[in-house]
Amino acid sequence: MPLYRWIRSALRSLFRMERMDRELDEELTSVLGMLVEEKLRSGMAPGEALRQARIELGGREQVKEEVRRQRAGASLESVLRDLRYGWRSLLRRPSFTFTAVLVLGLGIGAPATVLTLVSQIFFVSPEAIAEPGRVVRLTRSFGEGRGGGALGNPDYLFYRERNSTLTGLAAFGGQRAVAFSVGTERHDQLDVLFVSDNFFEVLGVSPPWGRAFLPEENAAPGAHPVVVLNHDFWLRALGGDPDVVGRDLILGGSPYRVIGVGPAGFGSLSPVTPAPDAWVPIATYGALTRAPSLDWWERVPHMKSRWLQGLGRLAPGVTFEAARDNLVALGEALAYDGKSADEGAFLQRQFLYSPALESTLASLSRLLLLVVGIVFLVAVFNAAVLLLARAATRQREIGIRAALGASRGRVVRQLLLETLLLTVLGGVLGLVLAFVLSGLAGSLLPVQFVSEFRPDLRVILVAAGLSLVTALAVGLIPALRTTRRDLRDAFQGVASGPSASWLQRSLVVGQVGLSLVLVAGALLFARSFWVARSLELGFATGDRLVLEVPLVEADLEGEEADVFLRSALERIGAIPGVRQVAATRMIPFQGDWSTEIDAPPGARPNMEGDKVFIGLNAVSPGYFETAGIPVLAGRALQPDDDQGAPPVLVLNETLADALWPGESPLGRTLPLDEGVDIEVVGVVRNAVYYALGEESQPQAYLALGQFPQRTVHFLVHAAGPPRELMPAVQGALREIEPRLVFRWVTTMEAVVEEATARYQVSAVLVSVFSLVALLLAASGLYGTIAFLVAGQTREIGVKMALGADRGRVGRDVLVFGLKLASAGVALGVAGTFAFRRITENLLFGVEPADPLPVAGACLLLMVVAVAAALAPARNATRVDPVEAIRREG
């Protein structure tokens, strides 16, 4: 048949299904009528005539089915027919449909949410970057494939000149706030990122206004003060001034020529770091940060001057592996003082997130995927149980269809389509859930997200794929099973009793087992978080504001810095609502500062080579009080400890014990500063300095007045919520020195929270999902037990009639429930062994093998099982034996 005709007929069939059906019906009725007339004319009795006519015509449905099969587009039409039938069938059982859709929605929504999150964290790249798949990130490896260390500028230049596999290698680093002013009145700050001249080129980003950097602008330190602005910043702070290119901006006190503005939407290189407000050449680093000497540019790299990351673009036709080999080989050839044997180049495909977060994010994502996978399985099992139970009750309906001539394949297909409808509905619900949940997740996760969560096409496809897979997995078995029984069973209806088949039971056991793993995990992570949170930190965390203020960059050095600090502390102290204020160089968990000296006579060394390792800090008077660190012996630092006075220091317990065990350290001296002996005037309580769970660290506190620093943190103890004081404190500081830049403003609580963030997040995530799984498993248990009791009403009746008392019957049901649960629990405990490794670096202070959470989870699940079995058990005791036996079922 010519194609167009076929299409026309097919479309006609589809759209006029109803009408064509009716016409056919009419035709058949008319023919039947004529047959009857025929028979009547030949002398048959009316009843007989009708019967014979019907026999001769044949089964009406079958004829209609035959005709339909002939039509063009028949298969599509029959699929649509099946779908409509399935839809009506689902509507007839609203509670089943609702439950099944909810279960499936949860099961599909959870993975979809996680995939959205993970893909946005790991796979999204800024739109403005050309071919992001060809961009690679170059950092320093610490051996064994553990990379992520920063490069020095000379290293970077070495790789840039010598590589043979990249069309360009750019570098970036050192994002920080610098003072910026327009004219003399307005003082503000903005975030700059230092980049190489080819930064925009390598990324394939072209500023729509002005231009990017030229090679000579990065050639000599400080020679070309130029800046490219971020589009958002340009709009926000400069009012989108169309003449901005060519104007000067005062950055860090000097004029910088604006040469270009970046495209809209381009700023951050990852979803977890904020976008810079402007880009400046690496060559301006020294000037903007007031580096002590400008030979950092050429200096052989050692720890302090490694601050860059490389960003390269693969040359056409070059594979990632080839580039990696090339750069690793170069890394081996790169030689400098202090380079360890394992160090080398580390190349990665994704360049999108900061190395420090990487391992945490990776672990979290793995955990999340696992957890969500488990929930998905539990949901699928649950849905399968529901479908099995439902299918068992449709025996009669299926039997009738078989009797009417439907082939087994046809019935199976229809059942599968019905399941597909369910899972599609579940998939849609799941997507909606994913939208909502991933939006919520932004507030739970500790990282700062620049982009909001949008589900992308991949996620939708995955949700669709999951729906399909689920439909097949969940629908196939019930469909095959119910069509296996022959006609007789079907007509005997439910008398043979839907028993909780072994399949249903195994699925429920599986659900219980999986839930156990999750619940045990949740308890474990919760415990870990609790341990981390209740750790004795040694300093006060509540009501404290922290502000990081760079001094040297504001041209505050020496005497000026001293004067500034004094008036700053005075001014801030005078603000109503401030209980105390102090300044400190170091804040817990943020970086480290330490030194090694030869052990002075009379002191015990605490490391090999007769040396003493000391952690350092420089603080203002009143620091210990403000920070809540008790002074144990001697005194704290005082205002008198300034430049004119002899240098003093305060030790913590660990250092005092290490150097002079059993003796008072007061009055002793340590040669900390180039041979100058510094007197110990006090001992303070230990605290946590660098990381949670660290061993006791030896710490010495110098006086800020005697050892001025380039940057300080102001620690403000507030009488109320610390954030409320932020504007007042910042205002006071700006009053004293308008060119001040605030690099960081937060509360001490937030600082500590960040340190415990990963434990908190894991605990929350696993707990939420384990609750979901637990609910599903509980409902699965309840459903199966109830189903069993309902199906065995007759047996129960018989038992009772034979003398079993009601209590016994109820107990039997409870025991059955407990047996199911125990099997699941046993399975689950075995499962916990398998998942140990995944939890490794997300736990604090607890072992993955800790038996307590597992025991707790077992207990919880057994309790849940009893609860689930209670109602059915009670129903069983209420069975009236006479009724039950009499009923056919």
DSSP class per residue in 657-681: HHHSTTS--TT-EEEEETTEEEEEE
Rounded to 5 degrees, φ, ψ at 825 are -65, -45
Select 53 or 288, whichever has its Cβ closest to another protein: 53
Q: State in angstroms the smallest separation of the CB of 72 from another protein.
A: 6
- When the beta carbons of 70 and 534 are compared against another protein, the nearer one is 70
For residue 684, the SS3 value is strand
Distance CA 116, CA 431 (A): 10
Select 1 or 91, whichever has its Cβ closest to another protein: 1
Q: How far is the CB of 27 from another protein (least distance, A)?
A: 5
What is the nearest approach in angstroms of another protein to the Cβ of residue 5?
7
**Residue with Cβ nearer another protein (20 or 790):** 20
Instruction: Give the shortest CB-6-to-another protein separation in angstroms.
Output: 9
CB nearer to another protein: pick between 13 and 120: 13
Q: With H, G, I as helix, E, B as strand and everything else as coil, classify residue 368.
A: helix
Q: Scanning the structure block, which residue is given the tokens 């539990």?
A: 378
Which residue, 31 or 751, has its beta carbon nearer to another protein?
Answer: 31
Secondary structure of residue 256 in the 3-state scheme:
strand
Smallest gap from Cβ 19 to another protein, in A, equals: 13
Nearest alpha carbon to residue 260 among 223, 197, 207: 207
**Taking the alpha carbons of 270, 275, 280, 283 in that order, is the dihedral positive or negative?**
negative
Q: At closest approach, how far in Å is the CB of 84 from another protein?
A: 21
Q: How far is the CB of 30 from another protein (least distance, A)?
A: 5
Contact predicate 829/511, CB 8 Å: no
Query: Which string of DSSP letters, residue by residue, matches 376-424?
Result: HHHHHHHHHHHHHHHHHTTHHHHHHHHHTT--HHHHHHHHHHHHHHHHH
**H-state helical runs in 127-284:** 153-162, 199-203, 231-238
Q: Which residue has the tokens 């068992």?
A: 392
Instruction: Report, in Å, the least distance between residue 79 CB and another protein.
Output: 19
Q: Please, are residues 649 and 679 in contact by the beta-carbon 8 Å criterion? A: yes
Residue closer to another protein (CB basis): 59 or 240 = 59
Closer residue to another protein, CB minimum distance, 71 or 485: 71
The least CB distance from residue 56 to another protein, in Å, is 6
Report in angstroms how near the CB of residue 405 gets to another protein at its nearest.
12
Q: How far apart are CA 698 and CA 605, in angstroms?
A: 12
- Interface residues toward another protein, by CB under 8 A: 1, 5, 9, 23-24, 26-28, 30-31, 33-35, 37-38, 56-59, 62-63, 66-67, 69-72
Contacts by residues 208-217 (CB-CB < 8 Å, ≥ 24 positions apart): 208/261, 208/262, 208/263, 209/244, 209/245, 209/260, 209/261, 210/245, 210/246, 210/258, 210/259, 210/260, 210/261, 211/259, 211/260, 212/259, 212/260, 213/259, 213/279, 213/281, 217/281, 217/283
Task: Considering the complex, state which of residue 66 and residue 596 has its C-beta at the smaller distance from another protein.
Answer: 66
791, 500 Cβ separation under 8 angstroms = yes
Q: What tokens appear for 730 in the block?
A: 């910042």
- CB nearer to another protein: pick between 26 and 663: 26
Which residue type does 794 have? R
Question: How many CA atoms does the CB half-sphere of 574 hold within 13 Å?
Answer: 9
27/486 with CB nearer another protein = 27
Q: Report the distance separating Cα 383 and Cα 396, nearest Å.
A: 22
Q: Note the residue count of the chain.
A: 889
Q: How far is the CB of 36 from another protein (least distance, A)?
A: 10
